[in-house]
Chain A
């Protein structure tokens, strides 16, 4: 049976109706119309569906809507805008990072939380922080450049 849920997404309140076991990913995409988190695996293995829940990266394909509660949800669309970009978004454009770009939620949302908590990270720390995110096109070198560029912008 569907139930009603009140969600705070990108700073706005939404009320949605869904089965309790529905993963947040499908609620964001199909009920709220935030297409950007992508289905990659449904297994929490790739990161294409990553959003922030209270500031922490979360794989929305594995988070049932019933468990979200009052956690604040931020998607890539809420991270920054062309007028007020997150440094990672700026760096991604400047470094021309993606090939197909389907994976970028995972990299940007994971790196955004990492860079917020870790100033001046080393190369090794960045690689380890991003170890569980997948990119099939092989853009890893450009991703590293962009994260380092963003880290420099974030002091």
Chain B
């Protein structure tokens, strides 16, 4: 069981826009082991797996599989070679049955033309049995639980004779019980000679299941360790770090009346039996930035959707300026003083073919000073736009330029400028500087602090720990849909400590967490 089945030698991947996703990554995988790759968002785990699975091409470096150098041009080649991948987002068709989903693309035939359903059912049933999957292969995908759907995805890879199975954050959609089941199955796979690559950021689970662990950070490997040779603290240490500390202290000033402008109480989102959000309570005060730290996928996105009105929670309240706005429409929430910078600026933050000015007024186009009796006053709108272009140093030809043709940083500035200009009581900023250049990012940070100084309460949701620590006055940490830590004194907390919470190693008491709402 000690021979290497897959070897990655100095894999480097640089994207067209200059982003270095992987840098000289070396990993060797031994046959029959469960090997975890851990890291936070942006560490390069997903990119690395895309390279292995043929979805992306490495810029340099080699992959050796079963002793031979290989280069997969697409995922079919990887699959045919015996590498299977279970993605985070399942690729299943709801109206198909389990059998159909498994055999699609590789159907057994009889008489040369017809699908041999008998054989298909027999084969898939046998496969399920062999791996102890208790599943009825004639059921429709739509009727399965999430855990069962994942089993189907795994069966798909096994049906194609996968020897190496890559699982990308498999437990993020499972209930605790389903996670236990999954781990039992993985051990069975191992016993049958399969090699498992387990990608995760949940260190407790990684510690339970892995033989060896590779830690990635900033596109590089920080070493491969035997499970028994490394502690959770040491792992956290290697995963979390702050490269750039920016001190914004000189920009901050205190706002005199720091009342709680927004309160979230007992927010809960439940999908069938799984809690996506559980009992989340906190308050945002005027004149402060409350940061939510956490690896993406732990419920933060759902929290933001519930607050902003894009999703209905199954329980809990959102109170803005002492009014219960939980069930308000998006328009009314905005009218009451809520503003929002969405995570996906291209999809949700702008209308790409529309002009800069059209985009920058979208949340207050009906303001009285921009309109006269019947028409919108173009002159005033242009003036307002130009005012904002100047204040935010937006690099554009003019107000009429199509906003989609601006650079990423400038597009984000348009979004921020717009929300800034609504003079909100509370601004929800989701990954506000994701994927943009440092100059624009810093500029946006200063604008956020400016808003904070003037009395807005800002809820900052970011997977970038540096950003959260640079900007926030108080911090809460999300893990697995719950608040696991509340940090009142940001100055004196280290990124390591936050990391322990983010990665599920540590957990504050209910009383300590209660401070998020009650302080």
Is B truly associated with A? no
